Chain A
Amino acid sequence: KAGVTQTPRYLIKTRGQQVTLSCSPISGHRSVSWYQQTPGQGLQFLFEYFSETQRNKGNFPGRFSGRQFSNSRSEMNVSTLELGDSALYLCASSSGTIGTGELFFGEGSRLTVL
């Protein structure tokens, strides 16, 4: 069973640009969550999608957005990039309700903003 796949793995952007990250969940999983990991901040929850609907949202500005497609694949977009957006962005999938079962994470997309 293939795991969670995130693309691209690494990317470099400059301030003001925008970026789109992609996540393919485990086959059969309908929930996709996104997290931002920065040194000293742990994993901060961005949002969660379930069956193409945003079900939960963290405390991030509107520059951060996402969507989910009918095949459960998800994308997240960050517009008007700032230096502080440099981070590892992790995608996780699960079959449904997060709390009763574990999340399965991808390897992440490491974004560097110059």
Chain B
Amino acid sequence: DQQVKQNSPSLSVQEGRISILNCDYTNSMFDYFLWYKKYPAEGPTFLISISSIKDKNEDGRFTVFLNKSAKHLSLHIVPSQPGDSAVYFCAPHNTDKLIFGTGTRLQVFP
């Protein structure tokens, strides 16, 4: 039962351009959505979140958009930097647990 899907396993973007990572979900009861970033050999780290009552949240170069009617959220990184190369997980919240997507591997090249 895949409640959270990140359909793009990988994404390659040139430095300075925009990176857009997508996430689709099926459960309309999710009330909070988080994004995590994971480097190899490290645990995931929290990046940005958005409440279900909002449709946009911005933090520096990172912006998350939420479209509740489409059950879709996206993470925009502008401008992309080589240090952003990592695996990104979306993680909606439901009844005191986070449900992680399968992740998207972002590679930012010079």
User: Which A residues are closer than 8 A to B by beta carbons?
Assistant: 4, 33, 35, 40-45, 48, 55-56, 58-59, 90, 92, 97-100, 102-108
Contact = CB atoms under 8 A, between A and B. Distances in A.
B32 interface: yes
Given A90-B43, A90-B44, A99 B99 contact: no
B43 A4 contact: yes
B99 A92 contact: no
Interface of B: 1, 4, 6, 9, 31-32, 34, 36, 41-46, 49, 89, 91, 93-103
Contacts of B1: 59
Contact of B96 (A35, A98, A104): A98
A99 B41 contact: no
Contacts of B44: 43, 90, 103, 105
B32 A99 contact: yes
A42 B98 contact: no
Contacts of B99: 45
Contacts of B43: 4, 90, 92, 105-108
Contacts of A103: 44, 46, 98
Given A58-B97, A100-B32, 20 more contacts: A41-B102, A42-B6, A42-B101, A42-B102, A43-B44, A45-B97, A56-B96, A59-B1, A90-B43, A90-B44, A92-B43, A97-B96, A98-B96, A99-B32, A99-B93, A99-B94, A102-B36, A103-B44, A104-B46, A105-B44
- Which residue, B4, B43, B94, has most C-beta atoms of chain A within 10 A? B43
